[in-house]
Amino acid sequence: MNKIILSLFILSITLNSFAQETDSLKLKLAKEETVLNKELSLDTNNTTDIKFKNKTITIVKDDDGETTITVKKTGNIDEQKNTEASEAFETIEELNNFDDFDIDINKKKHKSNFKGSWAAVEFGVNNYFNNDFSISRDASDEFMDLNTGKSWNFNLNFAQYSINLINEQFGIVTGLGLEFNNYRFDNNITIQKVGGVIVEDATTYAGFNLDKTKLTTTYLTAPILLELHIPIKHDEFKISGGVIGGVKIGSHTKVVYKDSGNKKKDKIKDDFNLSSLRYGFTARLGFEDVNLYANYYMTSLFEKNKGPELYPFAVGISLAF
């Protein structure tokens, strides 16, 4: 009887141990299945591959929100795992910025870098031609003879608008400017209007020693230029030419003389039969912001039959701004 009870007791312990091992095995299998399912889920749903040149960046995010980043070189068996997040994110950021970079390029393509050479401060000298393109005066207009070295031209071209036509190297340029012409007379005379005609005034200051006598005109100008830029190493050679028009906005004569040892100045404002409107040609050439300029007007300085037939011109240096 005792043997039977002992046998049953041993059998019971054996079955209980087997049951515990079975439950442990089931639990282990269940955990492995859960891990496997999680890995499968991560591989299919939470894994992102980014290919860039010869690298593949793999980003894995698990259910707990943890992110693992690996970088693998394409065609290389060795894998680089768990690289520093900063390096990977920098690469990703560069990739994300590619679209913005393309947008910036497109914007720059539509932004013209063509800039004309009209807007500038210009200094030069004035004179005028006869109708035969001579600067020598004859007996009829000898009183208009100039001291060219002291007949200054000053231009302030304050507004400019440039239109690119071809490859930011050829375009149209226009704008506005102010042109100041000082015609310094070479003789000790000034001019006056007699019978509606400009003639020599040789009597008003007779007996006085004249230090300075000149005619000054001021015009508002506007050009239409065709301009070409030729790249030469790191500079640009610029050539421009076209038409220029002007509207007179002021004129006067000025005489500086001595009377009984005292210095005096007489300034007379008048239209002096000067042409109110004029047109002509203008040209510029040079490198970058430094150019030579020339203006020539086909309109006579004075109105027709109201003064000598003289055609103004000016040449000088232009400093663009």
Q: Can you give the three-state secondary structure of the chain, one letter per residue?
A: CHHHHHHHHHHHHHHHHHHHHHHHHHHHHHHHHHHHHHHHHHHHHCEEEEEECCEEEEEEECCCCCEEEEEEECCCCCEECCCCHHHHHHHHHHHHCHHHHHHHHHHHHHCCCCCCCCCEEEEEEEEEECCCCCCCCCCCCHHHCECHHHCEEEEEEEEEEEEEEECCCEEEEEEEEEEEEEEEECCCCEEEEECCEEEEECCCCCCCEEEEEEEEEEEEEEEEEEEEEEEECCEEEEEEEEEEEEEEEEEEEEEEEEECCEEEEEEEECCCCECCEEEEEEEEEEECCEEEEEEEECCCCECCCCCCCCEEEEEEEEEEC
Q: What is the pLDDT of residue 298?
A: 98
The mean pLDDT of the chain is 82
Which tokens in the block code for residue 303?
């109105």
* The pLDDT of residue 169: 95
Instruction: Check pLDDT > 90 for residue 60.
Output: no
pLDDT computed for residue 16 by the predictor: 56
pLDDT at 26: 55
Neighbour count for residue 183 (Cβ, 10 Å)? 25
Q: According to the model, what pLDDT value does residue 230 have?
A: 96
Q: What is the pLDDT of residue 71?
A: 66
Distance CA 148, CA 185 (A): 9
pTM, full prediction: 0.66
Closest CA to 279 of 245, 243, 249, 241: 245
How confident is the model over 247-301, as pLDDT tens digits?
999 999 999 999 888 899 999 999 999 999 999 999 999 998 999 999 999 999 9
pLDDT tier at 49 (50, 70, 90 boundaries)? confident
For the segment 226-239, the average pLDDT, to the nearest whole number, is 94
Q: Is the pLDDT of residue 178 over 50?
A: yes
What's the pLDDT at 27? 58
| 29 pLDDT higher than 80 | no
Check residues 57 and 303 and name the one with the higher pLDDT.
Answer: 303
- What is the reported pLDDT for 40? 46
**pLDDT at residue 102, as a whole number:** 46
The predicted structure's pLDDT at residue 63? 66
**What's the confidence (pLDDT) of residue 101?**
42
- Among residues of the chain, what percentage have pLDDT more than 90? 58
Residues 108-143 pLDDT 10s: 455 678 999 999 999 999 999 999 999 999 998 999
